[in-house]
């Protein structure tokens, strides 16, 4: 009797608990799957927007706001080096195809000019490599137009970037080519040998320049990556701290400083969590600016650390480890605050 009563009293009470646990497990799996889907595609797309105008504009805004914060903390925070371009307003604006003016260059104009020059250097070097690699090999045998072919190859080499040694070698080739052209055609064997030696010299020069241009292209791409990153100069004046002169620290805001991947994870977590669309909109349009502001404060803090430590090991450790972890904590904290105060407390 008591056993039946226990079964009757406890049986119905245990079923809802089991159903609740099953529902919670199902919601958790759904959240994980949606989170992976919502995060994966934006993260993949992010790799393809790194070199776009939109990304350039965003990085510039991050650098501009970071410089503004540093200017409030230290002696000054400057975006780009305006003094280095003083008196070059016409040149810069002509390159940017903007209206000519004698007014001082803006930080945006200076940065775009540097990036544009770096982009053109990469494009020119790539074109030079392509032109040299696609040129057909010179052939002396059964080729009555070999002299014209050598002329064209010399003209091609003259039009690409050459090292100093390459320029000297080209001048020597040009002199030998002129000698062959003016020599008598009596000794055909000697003429053929001279042409072969000339062709070998031209082909050797081409191969050497292709190798050198590949190294130049590698350096140009590295320079492009640096010049596409806005330059921030922070000057810290310790005043009465006993320093003889203010401390200047320069750093570039690279795509890795954008915090966009972390923001994408936050966006995916908000969209994947079971909540109403109103709560999701609040989470996105309220949380993303907070994360952007935290990133600005992170960069400003790193600028201060870099100035105080002169970019030493403490700066690198803070940049690569400390603030990376702290920012992830902020992302999780903002998301958890959204869940706790805007989703669960408003749920019936």
Residue 22 lies in a domain: no
pTM for the full predicted model: 0.77
Domain end, chosen from 197, 227, 257, is at 227
Domain end, chosen from 227, 259, 282, is at 227
Q: Look at the chain and report how many structural domains it folds into.
A: 2
Do 139 and 208 belong to one domain? yes
Do 65 and 135 belong to one domain? no
Residue 24 lies in a domain: no
134 is in which domain, residue-wise? 121-227
pLDDT digit string (tens) for 228-266? 899 999 988 776 555 567 888 999 999 889 999 999 999
Residue 106 lies in a domain: no
Do 241 and 331 belong to one domain? yes
**How many whole angstroms separate alpha carbon 11 and alpha carbon 7?**
5
Do 252 and 286 belong to one domain? yes
Copy the structure tokens of residue 230: 């806005």
Domain end, chosen from 205, 227, 249, is at 227
Residue 107 lies in a domain: no
Do 261 and 210 belong to one domain? no
Do 144 and 198 belong to one domain? yes
CA dihedral 283, 288, 289, 294 (to 10 degrees): 120
Q: List Cβ neighbours of 36 (8 Å cut-off, separation of 6 or more).
A: 268
Give Cα separations from 192 to 122, 183, 187 (angstroms): 39, 12, 9
Do 241 and 324 belong to one domain? yes
Residue 129 lies in a domain: yes
Residue 126 lies in a domain: yes
Residue 254 near residue 62, CB atoms below 8 Å: no
pLDDT digit string (tens) for 115-163? 899 999 999 999 999 999 998 888 887 778 888 888 889 899 988 888 8
Residue 62 near residue 296, CB atoms below 8 Å: yes
**How many whole angstroms separate alpha carbon 38 and alpha carbon 247?**
44
Backbone angles phi, psi at 139, to 5 degrees: -135, 130
Do 267 and 338 belong to one domain? yes
Residue 107 near residue 94, CB atoms below 8 Å: no
pLDDT digit string (tens) for 69-81? 999 888 888 898 8
Do 256 and 326 belong to one domain? yes
Do 213 and 279 belong to one domain? no
Residue 93 lies in a domain: no
Do 169 and 191 belong to one domain? yes
For the chain, how are helix, strand and coil distributed in percent, rounded to 5? 75, 5, 20
Residue 240 lies in a domain: yes
pLDDT at 36: 94
Q: Which is more confident, 282 or 14?
A: 282
Do 58 and 145 belong to one domain? no
């Amino acid at each position: 009797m008591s056993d039946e009563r226990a079964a009757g009293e406890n049986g119905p009470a245990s079923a809802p608990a089991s159903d609740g646990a099953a529902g919670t497990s199902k919601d958790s799996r759904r959240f994980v799957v949606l989170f992976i889907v919502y995060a994966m595609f934006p993260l993949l797309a992010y790799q393809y927007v790194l070199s776009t105008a939109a990304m350039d504009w965003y990085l510039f805004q991050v650098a501009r706001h970071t410089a503004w914060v540093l200017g409030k903390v230290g002696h000054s925070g400057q975006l780009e080096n305006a003094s280095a371009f003083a008196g070059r307003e016409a040149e810069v604006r002509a390159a940017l195809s903007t209206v000519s003016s004698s007014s001082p260059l803006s930080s945006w104009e200076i940065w775009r000019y540097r990036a544009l020059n770096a982009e053109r250097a990469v494009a020119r070097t790539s074109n030079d490599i392509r032109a040299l690699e696609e040129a057909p090999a010179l052939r002396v045998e059964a080729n009555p137009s070999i002299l014209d072919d050598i002329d064209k190859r010399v003209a091609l080499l003259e039009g690409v970037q050459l090292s100093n040694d390459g320029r000297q070698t080209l001048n020597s080739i040009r002199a030998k080519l002129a000698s062959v052209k003016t020599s008598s055609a009596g000794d055909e064997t000697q003429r053929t040998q001279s042409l072969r030696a000339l062709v070998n010299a031209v082909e050797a020069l081409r191969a050497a320049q292709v190798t050198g241009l590949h190294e130049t292209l590698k350096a140009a791409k590295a320079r492009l990556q640096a010049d596409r990153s806005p330059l921030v100069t922070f000057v810290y004046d310790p005043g009465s701290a006993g320093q003889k002169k203010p401390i200047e620290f320069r750093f570039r805001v690279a795509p890795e400083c954008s915090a966009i991947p972390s923001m994408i994870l936050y966006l995916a977590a908000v969209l994947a969590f079971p909540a109403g669309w109103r709560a999701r909109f609040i989470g996105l349009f309220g949380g993303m600016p907070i994360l952007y502001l935290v990133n600005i404060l992170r960069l400003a803090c790193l600028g201060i650390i870099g100035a105080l430590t002169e970019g030493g090991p403490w700066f690198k450790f803070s940049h690569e480890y400390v603030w990376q972890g702290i920012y992830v904590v902020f992302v999780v904290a903002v998301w958890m605050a959204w869940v706790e105060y805007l989703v669960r407390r408003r749920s019936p």
